[in-house]
Amino acid sequence: MMEKLHRVVITGLGAITPIGNTVADYLSGLKSGLNGVGPISLFDASQHACRFAAEVSNFDPTGLLEPKESKRWDRFSKFGVIAAKEAIADSGLIIDDANASRIGVIIGSGVGGLLTMETQAQVLNNKGPGRVSPFTVPMMIPNMATGLTAIALGAKGPSSAVATACAAGSNAIGDSFRLLQLGKADAMICGGAEASITPLGVAGFSSAKALSFRNDDPSSASRPFDADRDGFVIGEGSGVLILETFDHAKERNAQIYAELIGYGTTCDAHHITAPSPGGIGGAEAIKETIQDGKINIEEIDYINAHGTSTAANDKNETSAIKNALGERARQIPISSTKSMTGHLLGGSGGIEAVACVLSIKHGVIPPTINYSKPDPDCDLDYVPNTARESKLNVVLSNSFGFGGHNVCLAFRKIN
């Protein structure tokens, strides 16, 4: 007979985003509808079809990382480790020799150290193989945000990395949830990290016609579910959660933000980038999460949508929500925080999970900004332009990635 699964709770949060470099600033940005999109400053984008992004502003790791670390780590790893340090400090969890083997790390990333790959490829082409940095491989591999976080914090438990494109951060949280449910760990440090605002990253997504080209008005470019949307805005940053078994958190008298109660993950098996028609794969992930969490759909008070601002995603996600929830879908507020932060790719699930937990704790639903023209194919309540105060019990978070990866997470107010 299978043993009873452990309850899993969130005890710490960390975030570095285009609208705030700490959880407190991120929360303030979410509540005020802050726009994190602007002209690209990380490189000369004058020759690019898309010349704007959602960058992490005023990023200075001084005092947060050792100078040697800053030189030898890719930007995405810096984001991941800094967010993880904030989350651990917030949780009050002390990692020592006695418990290190029971605390693990899973941080997802869509592409890992893309900037390192690009810069070292230029070194190879311009100066020859002997000048390529010996740190190239450990800087660019996608698991290094996980590895460096484990080293920085001394976590020796279950450790892995997820690379399911834009679903990676949510998969990392969901996989950590499963480990804790099964008693394979007492606590997990999990989330996503990404830093793909690079010449190759922007050019690649531009060539795929995935990005918005609203160069004349970048602040209005990320407009999920709006009829005039023309593509997503690439973003960067990291969101990290500390998950613990309920018993472990209570034993150490930890603060508890909310409970993680459900995890669904499916694959469209349809196309390398396009979602399955009608959002069938996403709908199945939502249904699986509801079943996993034993959720009555009347309890669902808010959905943080994947909401990328692309024509295909927003239409199909709307269909997926309707398919999974029936008429109840029309009564549930839905918003896309990507309207403010842009799309962090593998990091998006991390910061959006943080947003969901903050929504429950503070009783506020973040808005979908830049929403002005309804789309007949997107006809649900997208919380347009202004945050909404509301008591929240159960909140869902959707993440869908290239390759047909679908994830849904469910959070509940702690009882």
d(CA 259, CA 311) in angstroms, rounded, equals: 33
Give residue for tokens 């869908």: 400
Q: How far is CA 190 from CA 160, 234, 394, in A?
A: 10, 22, 21
Q: Is there a catalytic annotation at residue 356?
A: no
Catalytic residue among 166, 190, 356, 378: 166
CB 104 within 8 A of CB 159: yes
Looking at residue 391, its amino acid is K
Please spell the DSSP secondary structure of 216-284, one letter per residue. T-GGG---TTBTT---B-BBEEEEEEEEEEHHHHHHTT----EEEEEEEEEE--S-SSSPPGGGHHHHH
Q: Would you put residue 226 in left (φ > 0), alpha (ψ -120 to 50) or beta?
A: beta
Calculate the dihedral angle through the C-alpha atoms of 146, 165, 53, 350, rounding to the nearest 10 degrees. Answer: -50
d(CA 346, CA 57) in angstroms, rounded, equals: 19
Active site residues: 166
